[in-house]
């Protein structure tokens, strides 16, 4: 997998594999990759050149195969869909559906990366690569693999946590 990531980095970006695109064609006729605001595109080009705001890859289920997540537009809505590699192709797993927003984007949290669970108020490390969906106007979410599928967890920003704590203390 490291070789694939290195090749993608050198090429400038990952591409959604044809078998994953075929699954999108079946479920979301007329789909296209979601648009991102220019400042978000610029940030990705500078700091995460192997990824795009609407397409990331990693090993979500820790099986050694490359999995993908894409943000696409279809039917006037923005959809986040994961593609988990299998022996013959991919299993497509729709994760989120929202109004189209060029300020919503995807990030990858690498296995072993540190984060903080604001519900339990404890630090943790990701057990597998995890998907983050970051929104401008609402709380970000992460999707982590639990052995059978993805588990969604809210990932509030510092400002949201501080506001909630201040509200609680009154």
pLDDT-wise least confident of 3-7, 10-14, 137-141 = 3-7
CB-count burial class (<10 Å; 0-12, 13-18, 19+) for 90 = buried
User: pTM (2 decimals)?
Assistant: 0.83
pLDDT tens column, 117-152: 777 788 889 999 999 999 988 889 999 999 899 999
pLDDT tens column, 53-89: 999 999 999 999 999 999 999 999 999 999 999 888 9
What b/e readout covers 57-73, taking b as 16+ CB neighbours within 10 angstroms? bbbbbeeeebbbbbbbb
- How far is 31 from 112, CA to CA, in rounded Å? 34
Three-class DSSP category at 128: coil
Which residues does 14 contact at the CB level (< 8 Å), separation at least 6?
8, 50, 51, 52, 55, 56, 57, 68
């Amino acid at each position: 997998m490291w070789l694939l990531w290195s090749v993608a980095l050198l090429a400038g970006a990952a591409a959604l594999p044809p078998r994953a695109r075929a699954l999108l064609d079946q479920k979301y006729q007329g789909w296209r990759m979601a648009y991102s605001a220019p400042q978000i595109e610029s940030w990705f080009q500078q700091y995460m050149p192997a990824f795009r705001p609407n397409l990331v890859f990693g090993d979500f289920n820790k099986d050694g195969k490359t999995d993908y997540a894409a943000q696409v537009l279809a039917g006037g809505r923005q959809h986040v869909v994961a593609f988990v590699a299998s022996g013959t192709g991919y299993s497509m797993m729709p994760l989120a559906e929202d109004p189209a927003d060029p300020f919503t984007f995807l990030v990858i949290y690498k296995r072993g990366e540190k984060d903080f669970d604001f519900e339990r108020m404890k630090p943790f490390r990701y057990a597998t690569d995890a998907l983050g969906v970051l929104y401008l106007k609402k709380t970000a979410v992460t999707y982590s693999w639990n052995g059978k599928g993805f588990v969604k967890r809210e990932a509030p920003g510092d400002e949201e946590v501080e506001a909630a704590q201040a509200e609680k203390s009154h």
